[in-house]
Amino acid sequence: MLRQKLDSRVISAIALLSLFTACAQHSSSAVAAAQAATPAASASSAAAPSAPLVRGLPDFSGLVAAVGPAVVNVQVIERSSNSRTQRLGGGGNEDPFNDFFRRFGIPQEQVPQGRGSTPQPSRGEGSGFIVSPDGYIMTNAHVVNNASKVTVKLTDQREFVAKVVGSDETSDVAVLKIDGKNLPVVRFGDASKLRVGEWVLAIGSPFGMENSVTAGIVSATGRSIRSENPRNYVNFIQTDAAVNPGNSGGPLFNMSGEVVGINSQIFSTTGSYAGMSFAIPIDLANNVREQLVSNGKVTRGIIGVTIQPVTSALAESYGLDRPRGAAVGSVNKGGPADRAGIQADDVILSVNGKPVASNSDLPPMIAAIRPGTKADLEIWRNKASKHVSVVIDELQEDTRATRTSRNSPNQGNSSGSAVEKLGLSVRELSATERRQMRADGTLLVDEASGAAAEAGVQSGDVILSANGKDVGTVEELRAAVRGSTVARLRVQSWDQSGQSYTSIIAVRPE
């Protein structure tokens, strides 16, 4: 009886399974018929999923082994300060709480100095990379500015005292030189070929941790950011590679092991990495290096216009197809643009055939053109484009007297140190600035510290003469005060109402 019941259940199960199989076959046939009725394109997309565009993560070990030996640690001893506080461990102008877009030497503490105590030199640290077998090194200007001694440490632990060949504050690029032979060097890449999303590698000394490697991707290119420098001639490479205080001056590599940028700034409210870092494109930096090595200074082009962005509303009013170019706000009378016929309310669309995507593109494009050469500018006027030829003038830089190669510890009593010992950082006023200030002279005091500040010289004063000699340039001031035990300065100052007055101030060099 039990056997008969089991046989009956087995037969029922087989019958039920056959029913399910038939249903499945019927369903598959129905789906097949439905798919046959759909368009071929749809069937194709459903049949094979798209292949992933990115597979796996890169292994950076081979790249690091190849390029790492050319990356160096830069240690700096800064000149003594007379301030009542001393900064320890970084560039003297670092303040992790005040500077939103940060340059990054090692973070610094504030150590109170006792009354009458002897000021102690502060120390800083950054990074750099070797660009020639005989010892030329690139780093950031803010790493070595105001340095009394610079020491370069290689990955093999050898140390060299470095000479500051030149420093360009505008681009934040500096060149060092050590005595070496057959040193490992980096290769330069083409920053203009970087693509957003590609991998990049940073090597440096964050927080003094030498030869640290971090990786990330290119987040953006051509990034114009705010900084303490009112003139912006650098459109940065933005990455998310982790860089921190001490990475300044270190290289940014592409996956071919080529340097495409110099790590320079971070975006942070704390002073440490917050997901965004900025590198100077290597083509711009290398141009600065070549000029510093060859000429000791950097020249930049200028056409004499003020510009502003082309907004959607402005583009519409101009009759442009989209917002692009740089709108000319004003033209300096008698300047290159004025002589070429450029007018206020024109829009500059291209320079030598290269499109000006936004107003931030124009200054570095013009600055890169050698003064005295002609440039073809495409402008937009009266809803039509036209081309004009402009002869580029030389930009009169805000040359700081203390920002020179003469800060090498072996240079002694140089013409640069003559002004520096007064505690002055000065620059030459442009003709426009002089008119706006109604200044009688051309030599503006950017910063006054030490002896000059104690004597009463203030930032914003204009130096008219030194030791009875009229001075209008940095070099003239250097010559006038060189060797003086007391420098007699005639300065023009302004009170709170804007009225100017002249005074004579005696400054005893430190």
Spell out a b/e string for 124-133, using b for 16 or more CB atoms within 10 Å of the CB, else e: bbbbbbbbee
**Selected catalytic residue, list 81, 142, 405, 425:** 142
Q: Which two tokens stand for residue 212?
A: 């640290």
Q: Which two tokens stand for residue 219?
A: 């987040």
Q: Which two tokens stand for residue 196?
A: 């957003």
CA distance 238 to 156: 31
Do 171 and 209 contact (CB within 8 A), yes or no?
Answer: no
**Selected catalytic residue, list 248, 268, 350, 360:** 248
DSSP string, 69-136: GGEEEEEEEEPP--SSEEEESS-TT--TTT-SEEE-SS--EEEE--TTPPP---EEEEEEEE-STT-E
Q: Is 248 designated active site?
A: yes
Q: Is 172 designated active site?
A: yes
- Residue among 394, 402, 338 at smallest CA distance from 369: 394
Q: Could you tell me which residues are beta bridge partners of residue 216?
A: 200
Q: What is the 3-state secondary structure (H, E, C) of 149-170?
A: EEEEECCCCCEEEEEEEEEECC
**Selected catalytic residue, list 122, 127, 172, 205:** 172
- Residue among 189, 157, 132 at smallest CA distance from 72: 157
Query: CA dihedral defined by 369, 370, 372, 373, rounded to 10 degrees?
Result: -50
Indicate which residues carry an active-site annotation. Answer: 142, 172, 248
